Amino acid sequence: MALEHEGTVTVNTSEFYGMSAEGIQNYISEIQTIVIQEACENLESGKDALHTALRTGWTGQAEVNFEKNFDNQITATVNALKSAEAALEAELYAIANSWIEQDKQMVEVSE
């Protein structure tokens, strides 16, 4: 088994070592699904609700400008979350690969 991720060192593991890579992959999946995607979806749905409220109580160029600026901030926040997700994923894979390598070195007999 190997943990593979763009930009990280891949370490091959096997049934002979005590370290399992499955847990870290599940953890990353949970973070992506529960935290990042849910936050992005909430931002998008909140944006739609705000647009509806703004359009019923505010008209003119100021409302249009506010809406555009707000949309830009939502997009920037979503992009920042996705960047943070990628950085966290890379860091978790790097840590897991380090653990796998340490585990491998403890199991193998050195000469």
Q: What is the pLDDT of residues 51-80, one digit of tens each?
A: 888 888 888 899 899 999 999 999 999 999
Q: How far apart are CA 54 and CA 71, in angstroms?
A: 13
| 6 band by pLDDT with thresholds 50, 70 and 90 | low
pLDDT in tens, 11-55: 444 444 555 667 777 888 887 777 888 898 999 889 988 888 888
Tally of CB atoms within 10 A around 11 = 22
Answer yes or no: is pLDDT of 89 > 70: yes
pLDDT for the residue 111: 64
Domains for the chain: give ranges and CATH numbers.
22-107 (1.10.287)
